[in-house]
């Protein structure tokens, strides 16, 4: 399995959903960074399970135990290792999944690739639980970026067919981004958020699940960041975002809708705002040629419906080599989108920090 990513900042994740612990090793952090553990814990709590009725009932504190790389509250420059102990596991809920392949999940391809030796309990290393260490690393990256005047925030753009408002692509403030981080369902329009909540609870009642879209903004990033071709801003962020379980698509700026525009409409015209160079529109999402142009970076990530659902589904029994029925038991999110918001923020911070340090 590939558990390592990065250039200037290198991360290595480890653990399984129902193993003893999950964790991450982070190399390349600058020395002397004073860790704001309160802010880190707030980030971890936003992703943690069991916070509300619209998430899984599994209860994990997600407290990070730092084993190395920090002394007297500051980074030492040595690799920083943090682990999160697993406590609320019910592995017996997954006993049938050794042979019955969950539709929409990694069970079947993983069984083939790893010859049946992979840990299937709770999805093992394929579980969304493994994003918790990423949130920890991203929280550290965000602290470093804030010192450079760069702020990152995201919200639930849609759940199924219910749409939230969009970010203003021309002006995004740190106050706006920070205001999104106090809710279990981060939205710009609270009325739409309540409709989303009702729809999620209805899907939960029906034993089904929903997907949606997360919109992320990166404000304050200067022009000139990015390393085309293969380490452009888009390719770096897309690599990390697609590493988040359940993400199936990404678009920057106007995204696919830019194909419906003429060049005269799609091009972002420049102008001077005092000594600062800005664009009149931001259809390209703050990125041109793979390099930041100084405008806010905007992208959206599509998150599929949770694959583990109570509804009976058709599947196969790979031991008996026959078709079968499956009703997944256990504790699962009826919609993972709300908890994915902080994960998208975290991986974005890691990607931007890595590019900034080059």
- Which residues are known binding-site members for FMN? 125-127, 289, 304-308, 331
Q: How many CA atoms lie within 13 A of 63 on its CB side?
A: 3
**Collapsed DSSP state (helix, strand, coil) of residue 43:** helix
DSSP symbol at 31 = T
Residues 106 and 198: their CA atoms lie apart, in Å, by 29
* Binding site as annotated, residues: 47, 53, 125-127, 289, 304-308, 331
Q: What are phi and psi of 335, to 5 degrees?
A: -160, 120
Residues 234 and 291: their CA atoms lie apart, in Å, by 8
Largest CA distance in the chain: 72
* Binding site as annotated, residues for NADP(+): 47, 53
DSSP symbol at 34 = B
Q: Which residues of 96-128 are buried (b: 16+ CB within 10 A; e: fewer)?
A: bbebbbbeebbbeebbeeeeeebbbbbbbbbbb
The answer to whether 60 and 22 are in contact (CB under 8 A) is no
């Amino acid at each position: 399995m590939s558990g390592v990513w990065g250039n200037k900042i290198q991360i290595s994740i480890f653990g399984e959903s129902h193993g003893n612990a999950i964790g991450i090793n982070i190399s390349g952090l600058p020395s002397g960074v004073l860790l704001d553990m309160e802010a880190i814990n707030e980030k971890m709590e936003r992703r943690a399970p069991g916070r509300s009725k619209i998430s899984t009932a599994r209860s994990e504190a997600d407290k990070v135990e730092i084993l190395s790389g920090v002394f007297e509250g500051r980074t030492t420059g040595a690799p920083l290792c943090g682990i999160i102990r697993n406590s609320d596991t019910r592995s017996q809920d997954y006993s049938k999944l050794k042979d019955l392949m969950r539709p929409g999940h990694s069970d079947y391809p993983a069984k083939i690739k790893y010859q049946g030796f992979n840990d299937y309990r709770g999805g093992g290393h394929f579980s969304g639980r493994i994003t918790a260490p990423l949130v920890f690393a991203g929280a550290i990256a965000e602290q470093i970026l804030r010192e450079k005047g760069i702020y990152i925030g995201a919200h639930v753009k849609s759940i199924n067919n219910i749409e939230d408002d969009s970010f203003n692509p021309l002006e995004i403030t740190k106050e706006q981004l920070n205001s999104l981080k106090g809710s279990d369902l981060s939205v710009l329009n609270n009325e739409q958020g309540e409709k989303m909540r009702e729809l999620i609870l209805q899907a939960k009642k029906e034993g089904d699940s929903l997907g949606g879209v997360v919109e992320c903004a990166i404000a304050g990033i200067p022009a000139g960041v990015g390393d085309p071709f293969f380490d452009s801003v888009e390719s770096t962020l897309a690599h990390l975002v697609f590493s988040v379980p359940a993400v199936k698509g990404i678009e920057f700026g106007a995204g696919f809708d830019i194909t419906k525009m003429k060049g005269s409409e799609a091009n972002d015209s420049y102008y001077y705002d005092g000594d600062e160079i800005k664009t009149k529109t931001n259809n390209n999402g703050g990125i041109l040629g793979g390099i930041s142009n100084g405008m806010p970076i905007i992208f959206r990530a599509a998150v599929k419906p949770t694959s583990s659902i109570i509804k009976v589904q058709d599947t196969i029994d790979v031991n008996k080599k026959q078709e079968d029925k499956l009703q997944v038991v256990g504790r699962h999110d009826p919609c993972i989108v709300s908890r994915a918001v902080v994960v998208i923020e975290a991986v974005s911070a890691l990607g931007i920090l890595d590019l900034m340090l080059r």
